[in-house]
Amino acid sequence: MPEPVIKIEGLSKSFGANHVLDHFDLSLNRGENLVVLGKSGSGKSVLIKCIIGLIQPEKGKIHVLGKNVLTLNQTALDYIRVKVAFLFQSNALYDSMTVRENLEFPLRRHSFQLTTKEVEDMVMEALQNVGLEHTVDMMPSELSGGMRKRIALARTLILKPEIILYDEPTTGLDPITSLEIISLINKIQEKYQTSSMIISHDMKCVKLVANRIAMLIDGKCYAIGTYDELSASPDEKIRQFFN
Amino acid sequence: MFNQGTDIKTFLNETGEIFRFALRFFREGFRPRYEVDEFLRQCFVIGYKSFPLVALTAFIIGLVLTMQLRPSMVNYGVEVQIPAMVGVAIVREIGPILTALIFAGKIGSSIGAELGSMKVTEQIDAMEVSGTNPFKYLVVTRSLAAMLMLPTLVILADAIALYGSYLGVNIYEPLTFKLFFKKVFDNLAYIDVIPAFIKTFFFGFAVGIVGSYKGYYSEKGTEGVGLSANSSVVVSSVLIFIIDLIAVQIADLFQ
Ligand SMILES: Nc1ncnc2c1ncn2[C@@H]1O[C@H](COP(=O)(O)OP(=O)(O)O)[C@@H](O)[C@H]1O
Ligand SMILES: [Mg+2]
């Protein structure tokens, strides 16, 4: 019996007359890479931003590691946000800070009691994971798109999260860099036994990372299955993603 | 189509939104956790960024105003009153309003652009998931810093403009530094100085809060960021004149 680390039930969110999510259900099991597949503008980012409490849905429940994030106070929510990391589509590196300061930010802000040495070690370990130790004193603007993505990934890893939410990790990157990011995602899952929810519509990426795929269509979880199961589906709505 | 009806409606809507944003500043700003480091950094950045421009403009205005007033004053045979007159003009109105407008152009746009680009590249969301309240970290610190730095800049600008005026007087006739400033201050009452000083806190706060608001709710895309920077300047400049108008009415009550 797989153990769900995230359990979403009946999630609904609209912006005015735009019903983005409509009774959406989905579970993420421990240790798996679950891809959420959907067209651009279908509400994928809204979905994962609800999980981390950045967007408040109108209806539904989101249990993360056994707690309903929609009813938590700030302290409890911050605790969840240590366990659940988020890789933003636009990386969200702080422009005004160096790579080191970017990586230190979550460590310092989540009020852990860490010595300078411990912080330094954690920064270097995170950078080692993405192979970019030499950029530690550079500014984000000095880095290429792929490097920025890797630094952003290092920043999400620094708190040793149990769950990572990836928002379109390969969008906007060239094919070779995309493959590097994908192999990093797989490496991280293996090394730290994380559970990941990966938003994507890049089928090459999907094929390489997904243990299961959930299809977000018309605000609902339209179908769920492995790559092979879904790609063999006769349903036109599903098939169009796999051509 | 240009439609004044909807324009007025958007304007009123926006005013309401900015007002609510300002209320949030008072609700959240005075509760821990206090972002002291970021606040001090912002004070430095804001003051440092605007000082050279403020100083240069103030000096030129003081000098030019004095030189241009001179012919009429000579006509009436009251050129000895130039320091007194320039002093009132600068301290009561020109110093505060000029500095505030430069401040709006320089600081309002830079806060709008900075927070706008942080918004569209999800840096504000990233702060929020990193155990940080972005409203406190970004908005409260910048608005408070703007509110405190503008009065400081105005005092400096007044002093520099008066110095410019002193040089302007000396082009035509020798007048000692001491005597010049004695003439200026003899003519200035507290009722001139205090309201002029108090209103600058409101000017500064207006620039900080409007810039923050425009950036914080910036539209997606690079045009969105440009628009935030631009409309920060427009809206805060208009607000500065409105506050100035209200301030003069209130100050009048005490005359
Ligand atoms: N803050 C917001 N205000 C209004 N509409 C929004 C907001 N965020 C997202 N939307 C709308 O929700 C829909 C889904 O957006 P999103 O989740 O970003 O799509 P994607 O699947 O490409 O990530 C889009 O139509 C978008 O316009
Ligand atoms: Mg998206």
pLDDT at B1 over 60: no
In a domain, A59, yes or no: yes
The residue extents of the domains of chain B are: 36-253
For residues B91-105, average pLDDT: 96
Task: State which H helix or E strand residue A117 sits in.
Answer: helix A116-129
Distance from CA of B213 to the nearest CA of A (A): 19
The whole-number pLDDT of residue B3 equals 61
In a domain, A86, yes or no: yes
In a domain, A182, yes or no: yes
Q: What is the ipTM of this complex?
A: 0.94
Q: Which residues of B touch A95 (CB under 8 A)?
A: 117-118, 121, 123
B172's CB contacts (< 8 A; 6+ apart) are B70
In a domain, A103, yes or no: no
* Count of the separate structural domains present in chain A: 1
Give the burial class of A62: count Cβ atoms within 10 A of its Cβ; 0-12 exposed, 13-18 middle, 19 or more buried. Answer: buried
Instruction: Indicate the residue of B121, B127, B129 with minimum beta-carbon distance to A90.
Output: B121
> What is the residue range of A60's domain?
4-94+161-242
The whole-number pLDDT of residue A103 equals 97
In a domain, A119, yes or no: no
B9's CB contacts (< 8 A; 6+ apart) are none
Q: What is the mean pLDDT of chain B?
A: 93
Q: Which residues of B touch A78 (CB under 8 A)?
A: 131
Q: Do A54 and B129 touch (CB under 8 A)?
A: yes
Instruction: Indicate the residue of A81, A94, A110 with minimum beta-carbon distance to B123.
Output: A94
Question: Using one digit for the tens of pLDDT, what is the confidence trace for B19-59?
Answer: 999 999 999 998 888 999 999 999 999 999 999 999 999 99
In a domain, A123, yes or no: no
The whole-number pLDDT of residue A112 equals 81
Query: What is the CATH classification number for the domain harbouring A219?
Result: 3.40.50.300
In a domain, A129, yes or no: no
The whole-number pLDDT of residue B10 equals 84
pLDDT at B120 over 60: yes
Q: What is the pTM of this model?
A: 0.92
Distance from CA of B43 to the nearest CA of A (A): 16
Sheet holding A84-87, edge to edge: A84-87, A163-167, A195-200, A33-37, A212-217, A220-225
